[in-house]
């Protein structure tokens, strides 16, 4: 065998990678159904579906790299290996993005376009985005099974979502309630508690009385909401206010007629502020809870556009900020304002649109987290379903300390608001009779019930009257929570589901531990009475060189595709893995990427040397004592690496093979071989060189699949390296 011409030039990643990608794709081996041999072990995993809002970023590159390492490793180890790719419709984010673009380009809002047209435009955008994601995932070398690609909003997943909704509703766990919810006036939708972030901002705290006659002073940063106050709460043991508890006052407050009851409530901290709290049941979750305890009425003051809805001259339709000034002016004029001070407080923001959250009472759909119900012959709650498998070790979380974070979240969890007032997403499978009652020969009470169905409902099953579907859509995380089994064919009792569920590993960023990981445990537990995965591997956030989070708006994002073009995919993959411990943030360093480009070339030249010097090799055994020793060292490396990868220490395994190949194999063994090959021990040494090269390529393959496969192919091996047997 003469040495291929290619080896006279440095390794060219750009020329190689596309060709190798095609080779893999044509082989079909990324689909477990096509894998050769008898494979008893199973290894399955889902790729966290990227949002269809955009393009691949460094976080995706890291996820793909880590998951591909696991997948390729287990495939080579002889497992029936399935890694499912997909995309997430990311309802709020995607709709907000498209609406934004349309408004910028055409000056049109969602109302101008209407539901149907806006949806058409979003779907168009999502489709294009999906294509981009697929192309980019392929460039990363991901050995996913494209034939099983799933989209959270495709037909099969929609069916799963509707089935899930119906079943949970029938179990009494999905209910409709009029509650204070997190309303995002910018995105025009509700959000779950987890979709709200907090940011410190400066604000003014006003201390005042409602009226001159009112005995208690209160404080607030939001005077405009005080138009909806129905009580003042004080701590029942507070000596200053004890005598007022139970008393009621009628007050004229900036034109609004308030009826304020003084109530005693343990939740009030006597040491804070004036020790008295103006209760606004309609616009504060805490206040609503107090109101519930004391049966206080709720007066909505602010609407979905963050404007005043009370019919008060000078205030109606005013934005909250304006209304605030008007109220403050009024307080000053009436000499009711006692103090005005600057404070920093946390403002609630939408994690998708960054709009300021306005707590509003709304009729929404919820999932009951703490309600007890019968589940496979046992009493349980969804919280317990989430807590138990992590507690008893059925599910392992790496790194371990995230367990604590997880338990805190589960224990504090309130009911999950799942309805969203946007158009893009899974429409809630609920219909309402439009013509209730006896006029249609129906039963008034029955007709008033929401009709929950998996299939579309055309007319009221009770009276035959017209029906209308709930206009809302479901939280994106509802559909992604089903992901481990909806991608495998559920609710059908499919072969895939039996074979590949529970999945082995769920690898993702720690920032979506609650959003996604916890909710998958919930759904899988509820529907299948089974864990969704055995191990959760959490990776950190990739930050810029200054340690800042990368974001498009900051302009500090490093595009993995640029890096691939410059240094090759293998180099990016190695730079993302080596020295990156789980759960720890890391900074992107171009120098590091360049170093692994050099490493790819080093491998290339190692291969060249070995092939050049073993052309006349006769198949013999390694006989020389020294060679046997060297082989033993390598055997130990193999065992070590295998253990490391199996135990999720990719950062160690990758560094070990790097170090061995460069500083042991190349620097010592090859250098020494230049003289050994001139001695009587030539044959033994040739055999050693060849064996180490071939097995090293296998060991390195999960990390640097392209350069290793390319060399393997140039060695005219009959099989793909991707399905070669792991050497341990």
Partner RNA sequence: GGGCGCUUAGUUCAGUUGGUUAGAACAUUCGCUUCACACGCGAAAGGUCGCAGGUUCGAGUCCUGCAGCGCCCACCA
Per rule CB under 7 A, is residue 298 in the interface with RNA? no
Smallest distance, Å, CB 217 to RNA? 11
Among 25, 292, 372, 671, binds RNA (CB under 7 A): 671
C-beta pairs of 407-410 under 8 Å, 24+ apart in sequence: 409/513, 409/514, 409/518, 410/383, 410/386, 410/518
**What's phi and psi for 569, nearest 5 deg?**
-65, -45
Per rule CB under 7 A, is residue 17 in the interface with RNA? no
Q: Kindly give the interhelix angle for 650-659 and 682-700, rounded to the nearest 10 degrees.
A: 150
Smallest distance, Å, CB 221 to RNA? 5
Smallest distance, Å, CB 10 to RNA? 3
Per rule CB under 7 A, is residue 592 in the interface with RNA? yes
Indicate the residue among 203 and 435 with the shorter CB distance to RNA.
203
Indicate the residue among 89 and 649 with the shorter CB distance to RNA.
649
- Per-residue H/E/C for 328-354: HHHHHHCCCEEEEEEEEEEEEEECCCC
Indicate the residue among 627 and 644 with the shorter CB distance to RNA.
644
Tokens of residue 597, six digits: 């480009």
Smallest distance, Å, CB 401 to RNA? 4
Among 74, 166, 222, 387, binds RNA (CB under 7 A): 222
Indicate the residue among 103 and 272 with the shorter CB distance to RNA.
272
Smallest distance, Å, CB 338 to RNA? 13
Among 580, 614, 684, 686, binds RNA (CB under 7 A): 580
The DSSP symbol for 465 reads -
Smallest distance, Å, CB 545 to RNA? 7
**What is the residue whose two structure tokens read 């060292």?**
633
Cα dist from 557 to 262, 269, 552, 588, whole Å: 54, 45, 6, 10
Smallest distance, Å, CB 594 to RNA? 7
Indicate the residue among 578 and 721 with the shorter CB distance to RNA.
578
Nearest to 726 by CA among 78, 42, 80: 78
**What's phi and psi for 554, nearest 5 deg?**
-80, -20
Tokens of residue 309, six digits: 């809805």
Among 183, 478, 514, 660, binds RNA (CB under 7 A): 514
Indicate the residue among 15 and 248 with the shorter CB distance to RNA.
15
Measured from the Cβ of residue 178, the count of other Cβ atoms closer than 10 Å reads: 10
Q: For residues 175-214, which are near RNA according to CB under 7 A?
A: 193-194, 196-198, 205
Please, what sign has the CA dihedral across residues 124, 125, 127, 132? positive
Alpha-carbon distance 262 to 278, whole Å? 9
Give the alpha-carbon dihedral of 283, 287, 291, 296, to 10 degrees: -50
Nearest to 15 by CA among 671, 600, 638, 602: 600
Of 51-59, 88-96, 555-563, 658-666, which part binds RNA (CB under 7 A)?
658-666
Smallest distance, Å, CB 504 to RNA? 20
Per rule CB under 7 A, is residue 15 in the interface with RNA? no
Among 166, 440, 649, 685, binds RNA (CB under 7 A): 649
375-385: b or e for each residue (b if 16 or more CB lie within 10 Å)? beeeebbbbbb
Q: How many residues bind RNA (CB under 7 A)?
A: 76
Per rule CB under 7 A, is residue 581 in the interface with RNA? yes
Per rule CB under 7 A, is residue 584 in the interface with RNA? yes
How many whole angstroms from its chain centre is CA 222? 34
Nearest to 215 by CA among 274, 267, 292: 274
Please, what sign has the CA dihedral across residues 9, 10, 11, 16? negative
How many whole angstroms from its chain centre is CA 167? 24
Indicate the residue among 151 and 514 with the shorter CB distance to RNA.
514
Smallest distance, Å, CB 602 to RNA? 5
Of 4-12, 423-431, 618-626, 699-707, which part binds RNA (CB under 7 A)?
4-12
Of 57-65, 100-108, 130-138, 646-654, which part binds RNA (CB under 7 A)?
646-654
Q: For residues 538-577, which are near RNA according to CB under 7 A?
A: 547
Among 88, 184, 358, 644, binds RNA (CB under 7 A): 644
Among 408, 458, 495, 552, binds RNA (CB under 7 A): 408
Task: Give 15-41 as a DSSP string.
Answer: HHHHHHHHHHHHHTTTSGGG--S----
Please, what sign has the CA dihedral across residues 469, 473, 477, 479? positive
Per rule CB under 7 A, is residue 642 in the interface with RNA? no
Alpha-carbon distance 551 to 354, whole Å? 14
Smallest distance, Å, CB 249 to RNA? 17
Smallest distance, Å, CB 515 to RNA? 9
Smallest distance, Å, CB 260 to RNA? 13
Mention every residue, 6+ apart, whose C-beta is less than 8 A from residue 227.
253, 254, 256, 258, 299, 301, 308, 310, 312, 315, 327
Among 586, 614, 683, 696, binds RNA (CB under 7 A): 586
Smallest distance, Å, CB 191 to RNA? 12
Of 81-89, 381-389, 447-455, 592-600, which part binds RNA (CB under 7 A)?
592-600
Cα dist from 591 to 27, 287, 575, 595, whole Å: 35, 54, 9, 6
Per rule CB under 7 A, is residue 511 in the interface with RNA? yes
Per rule CB under 7 A, is residue 218 in the interface with RNA? yes
**SS3 of 177, please?**
strand
By the 8 A CB rule, do 454 and 162 touch? yes
Indicate the residue among 221 and 719 with the shorter CB distance to RNA.
221
Tokens of residue 243, six digits: 């005598």
Indicate the residue among 124 and 269 with the shorter CB distance to RNA.
269
Among 47, 219, 299, 397, binds RNA (CB under 7 A): 219
Per rule CB under 7 A, is residue 501 in the interface with RNA? no
Smallest distance, Å, CB 613 to RNA? 8
Among 435, 662, 682, 715, binds RNA (CB under 7 A): 662
Among 89, 602, 638, 698, binds RNA (CB under 7 A): 602
Q: For residues 137-176, which are near RNA according to CB under 7 A?
A: none
Smallest distance, Å, CB 446 to RNA? 38
Smallest distance, Å, CB 64 to RNA? 20
Smallest distance, Å, CB 276 to RNA? 7
The DSSP symbol for 443 reads -
Give the alpha-carbon dihedral of 145, 151, 154, 159, to 10 degrees: 90
Per rule CB under 7 A, is residue 612 in the interface with RNA? yes
Q: For residues 331-370, which are near RNA according to CB under 7 A?
A: 343, 345-346
Per rule CB under 7 A, is residue 704 in the interface with RNA? no
By the 8 A CB rule, do 345 and 198 touch? no
Q: For residues 263-282, which are near RNA according to CB under 7 A?
A: 267-270, 272-275, 277-278
């Amino acid at each position: 065998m003469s040495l291929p011409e290619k080896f006279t030039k440095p390794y060219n990643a750009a020329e190689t990678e596309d060709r190798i990608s095609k080779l893999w794709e044509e082989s079909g081996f990324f689909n477990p159904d096509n894998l050769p041999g008898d494979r008893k072990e199973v290894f399955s995993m889902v790729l966290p579906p990227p949002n269809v809002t955009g393009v691949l970023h460094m976080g995706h590159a890291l996820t793909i790299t880590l998951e591909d390492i696991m997948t390729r490793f287990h495939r080579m180890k002889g497992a029936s290996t399935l890694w499912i790719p997909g995309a997430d419709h990311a309802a709020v984010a995607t709709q907000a993005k498209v609406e934004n673009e349309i408004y910028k380009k055409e000056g049109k809002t969602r109302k101008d376009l209407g539901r149907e047209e806006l949806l058409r435009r979003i779907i168009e955008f999502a489709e294009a985005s999906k294509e981009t994601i697929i192309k980019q995932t392929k460039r990363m070398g991901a050995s996913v099974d494209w034939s099983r690609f799933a989209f959270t909003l495709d037909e099969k997943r929609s069916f799963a979502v509707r089935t899930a909704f119906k079943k949970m509703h029938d179990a009494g766990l999905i209910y409709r309630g009029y509650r204070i919810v997190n309303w995002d006036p910018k995105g025009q939708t509700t959000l779950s508690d987890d979709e709200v972030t907090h940011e410190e901002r400066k604000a003014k705290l006003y201390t005042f009385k409602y009226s001159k006659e009112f005995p208690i002073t209160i404080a607030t940063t939001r005077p405009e909401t005080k138009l909806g106050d129905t009580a003042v709460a004080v701590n029942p043991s507070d000596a200053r206010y004890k005598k007022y508890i139970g008393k009621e006052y009628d007050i004229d407050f900036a034109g609004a007629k308030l009826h304020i009851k003084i109530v005693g409530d343990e939740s009030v901290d006597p040491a804070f502020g004036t020790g008295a709290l103006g209760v606004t049941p309609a616009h504060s979750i805490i206040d609503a809870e107090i109101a519930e305890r004391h049966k206080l009425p709720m007066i909505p003051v602010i609407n979905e556009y963050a404007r005043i809805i009370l019919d008060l001259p000078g205030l109606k339709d005013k934005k909250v900020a304006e209304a605030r000034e008007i109220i403050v002016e009024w307080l000053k004029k009436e000499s009711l304002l006692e103090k005005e001070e600057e404070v920093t407080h946390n403002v609630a923001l939408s994690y998708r649109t960054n709009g300021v959250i306005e707590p509003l009472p709304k009729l929404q759909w919820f999932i009951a987290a703490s309600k007890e119900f019968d589940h496979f012959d046992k009493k349980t709650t969804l919280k317990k379903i989430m807590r138990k498998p992590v507690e008893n070790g059925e599910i392992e979380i790496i790194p371990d300390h995230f367990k604590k974070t997880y338990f805190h979240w589960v224990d504090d969890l309130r009911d999950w608001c799942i309805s969203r007032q946007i158009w893009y997403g899974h429409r809630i499978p609920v219909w309402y009779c439009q013509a209730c009652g006896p006029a249609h020969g129906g039963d008034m009470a029955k007709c008033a019930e929401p009709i929950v169905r998996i299939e579309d409902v055309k007319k009221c099953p009770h009276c035959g009257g017209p029906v209308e579907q709930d206009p809302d859509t479901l939280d994106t995380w509802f559909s992604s929570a089903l992901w481990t089994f909806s991608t495998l064919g559920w609710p059908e009792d499919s072969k895939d589901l039996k074979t590949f569920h529970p999945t082995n590993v769920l690898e993702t960023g720690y920032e979506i531990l609650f959003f996604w990981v916890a909710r998958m445990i919930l759904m899988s537990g509820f529907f299948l009475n089974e864990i969704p995965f055995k191990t959760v591997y959490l990776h950190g956030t990739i930050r810029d060189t200054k340690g800042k989070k990368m974001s498009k708006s900051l302009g500090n994002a490093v595009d993995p595709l640029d890096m691939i073009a410059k240094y090759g995919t293998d180099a990016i993959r190695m730079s993302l893995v080596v020295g990156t411990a789980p759960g720890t943030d890391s900074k992107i360093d171009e120098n590091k990427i360049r170093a692994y480009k050099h490493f790819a070339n080093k491998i290339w030249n190692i291969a060249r040397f070995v092939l050049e010097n073993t052309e006349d090799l006769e198949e013999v055994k390694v006989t020389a004592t020294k060679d046997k020793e060297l082989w033993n060292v390598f055997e130990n490396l193999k065992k070590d690496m295998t253990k490391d990868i199996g135990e999720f220490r990719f950062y160690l395994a990758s560094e070990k093979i790097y170090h061995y190949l460069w500083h042991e194999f190349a620097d010592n063994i090859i250098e020494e071989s230049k003289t050994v090959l001139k001695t009587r021990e030539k044959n033994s040494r040739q055999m050693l060189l060849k064996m180490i090269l071939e097995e090293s390529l296998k060991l390195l393959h999960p990390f640097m699949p392209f350069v290793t496969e390319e060399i393997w192919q140039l060695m005219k091996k009959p099989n793909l390296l991707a399905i070669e047997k792991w050497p341990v």
